[in-house]
Amino acid sequence: MVQRKGFRHESQAFLLRCLPSEKTSFSFVVSRKVADSAVTRNKLRRWGYAALQEILPLDRQMMCIFLLKKSATPRSFQVFIDELRSLLVRAGALG
């Protein structure tokens, strides 16, 4: 539902699909095209969830799917946090 009806916001490393809802939920998707190794894909997912812990709570309830792009792999954790925060501000979830 979020993929079809959600709003789309994009940065250099992420594609964010979000939709206002009654409950906040997040998902990080890292395809094989982004990282061949399952270890690397899982690391990027864990970084995403850890970065959200630094940013939360949100101003609005939303369902969000973060799709990582190939350019996300060599980044540092702080850059992850900054890009996620700027995407959520553009989406209207943060003030």
- 23-64 pLDDT, tens digit per residue, is 888 899 999 999 899 999 999 999 999 999 888 887 788 888
- Distance (Å, rounded) from C-alpha 41 to C-alpha 24? 23
Q: Is the dihedral of CA 31, 34, 40, 46 positive or negative?
A: negative
Q: Quick one: what percent of the chain has pLDDT higher than 90? A: 23
* pLDDT higher than threshold 80 for residue 75: no
**Spatial CA neighbour of 20 closest among 37, 34, 32, 2:** 2
| DSSP structure string for 13-32 | SEEEEEEE-SS-EEEEE--T
Residue-level pLDDT at 66: 92
* pLDDT higher than threshold 70 for residue 17: yes
> pTM (2 decimals)?
0.85
